[in-house]
Chain A
Amino acid sequence: MTRTPSSTAITSTATDPAPAAVGDARPVALRGVARTFATPSGPRPVLAGLDLEIAAGEVVAVIGPSGCGKSTLLRQVAGLDAPDAGEVLLGGTPVAPYDARTAVAFQEPRLLPWRTLAHNVALGLPRGTPRTQAREQVARLLDLVGLSGSAGLRPRQVSGGMAQRASLARALARRPGVLLLDEPFGALDALTRLRMQDLLLEVHASRPTTVLLVTHDVEEALYLADRVVLLAALDPAAPGAASVRSVITVPGDRPRDRADARLSELRAELLDGLGVPTHHHVHDPDLHHSI
Chain B
Amino acid sequence: MNNIKIKSKNLNVYYGDKQALFDVNLDLNEKEVTALIGPSGCGKSTFIRCINRMNDVIDICKVTGNIEMDGMNINDKDLDVVSLRERVGMVFQKPNPFPKSIYDNISYGPKIHGKGETKSELDQIVENSLKKSALWEEVKDRLDEPGTSLSGGQQQRLCIARAISVNPEVILMDEPCSALDPIATAKIEELIDELKKTYTIVIVTHSMAQAVRVSQKTGFFHLGKLIEVGNTEKIFKNPDNKMTQDYITGRFG
Decide whether A and B are members of one complex.
no
Q: Which residues of A contact B (CB under 8 A)?
A: none
